[in-house]
Amino acid sequence: MKRSLVITLHVGFWLCYGLLILLLLGVFFRNNADEERVNYYFGLIFRMAVVPSVIGFYLFYWLVFSTYVRTRNLWLSAAYALFGALLAAGVGYLGVTSRYGTACLSKTGSVLGGFLLIAFAAFLSGVVALVIRGCITWYSEIKLKEALVQKNHEMELALIKSQLDPHFLFNTINNIDVLILKNAAAASSYLNQLSDIMRFMLYETKTDVIPLAKEVEYIEKYIALQKIRTANPNYIHFSVEGSLHGKTIAPMVLIPFVENAFKHTGNKKLDQAISVAICSREKAIEFICKNRVNTHKTALSEANGLGNELIRKRLNLLYAERHTLTVSQQENQYHVQLTIATP
């Protein structure tokens, strides 16, 4: 939600609150509105109702709501709410007694009754704060989901254009066709892998998350198809460390970096011209991709691939504050390191 709208909600609430107090005081003073009496009760109401309500409102708004969102513990949040109401009441009590003494509180029945009345006013304001903060959060989450859906659609279109690249498909099919005469069994295996890749792209990427093992399997098959184009068995080094069991990831998060590595590495005779490593840790997934840069293509744009800017936007939407992405180039080596925090 826009900051201006949030400020408008806050200002609107306090204006309504102030008007309510003025209305009640207007009714109270309708027959006797001498200046001394008005000043007395304005000061009293300000200390008993306004100051505690402001404190209670923002304690609930920032502390209680954040505690519940972070912990999902209702009892802990209730304890913070009680603490906030009593703290606000304590401030109000000190303000009233320091200026007017305890006699004015006795008019409510007892000093304790006056204190509880102040706490109740602070609590009500706090409840309104929770409602406002909840509405703001709900609205922001809806907007975030809409943005995520939109970015996913953009990503999906970009991936289809990138993955179903005619050059990649035609080259792979031609390589398999040539291989049929030399090694029919290997050609059949590669054809099945190509079929699996297309099936994965078209059907298994529709969900928000997929098993990490599926993403790794896709990368393995993609690499296998790319290796048909070179006689150098050590052209690429791919490794996986740690257990993939139970780990999930948003689909097609890692593969764009691998694709870009192949597109920008020209010399297939070099050993380990491309190096891809995936490490599954207890609380994180680490991905490292390195490739030798073809110097005469360094000035080319990534228009034919999935640009880093689009990848960054998608990561920011999917893993806001839960990932780090570092992209660097030193001499003739391009280096990408991505870490995603997992539950």
pLDDT digits (tens, 9 = 90+) for 206-260: 777 889 999 999 899 888 888 877 778 888 999 999 999 989 998 888 988 888 8
Query: What residue numbers bound the domain in which 186 lies?
Result: 164-341
- pLDDT at residue number 301: 40
Residue 205 lies in a domain: yes
- pLDDT at residue number 188: 85
Place of tokens 């102030």: 18
Residues contacting residue 240 through CB under 8 Å, at least 6 positions apart:
216, 277, 278, 279, 280
Mean pLDDT rounded to a whole number for the chain: 82
Distance CA 72, CA 81 (A): 14
> What pTM does this model have?
0.53
Element (H, E) at 267: none
- The reply to whether 237 and 318 lie within a common domain is yes
Distance CA 321, CA 140 (A): 16
- pLDDT band with cut points at 50, 70 and 90 for residue 109: low
Choose among 300, 291, 223, 255: nearest CA to 155.
255
Residue 156 lies in a domain: no
Residues contacting residue 286 through CB under 8 Å, at least 6 positions apart:
277, 278, 279, 337, 338, 339
- pLDDT band with cut points at 50, 70 and 90 for residue 303: very low
Is the pLDDT reported for residue 175 higher than 80? no
- Structurally, how many domains does the chain consist of? 2
- The reply to whether 98 and 232 lie within a common domain is no
What are the distances in angstroms from CA 243 to CA 114, 185, 257, 277, 279? 62, 31, 22, 14, 8
Is the pLDDT reported for residue 305 higher than 60? no
- Mean pLDDT, residues 95-117: 76
Is the pLDDT reported for residue 163 higher than 60? no
Buried b (16+ CB within 10 A) or exposed e, 234-268: ebbebebeeebeebbbbbbbbbbbbbbbbbbbeeb
- The reply to whether 126 and 251 lie within a common domain is no
- Indicate the residue type of 277: A
pLDDT digits (tens, 9 = 90+) for 8-35: 888 998 899 889 888 887 777 776 667 7
- pLDDT at residue number 294: 64
Choose among 240, 225, 235: nearest CA to 173.
225
- The reply to whether 202 and 329 lie within a common domain is yes
- pLDDT band with cut points at 50, 70 and 90 for residue 131: very high
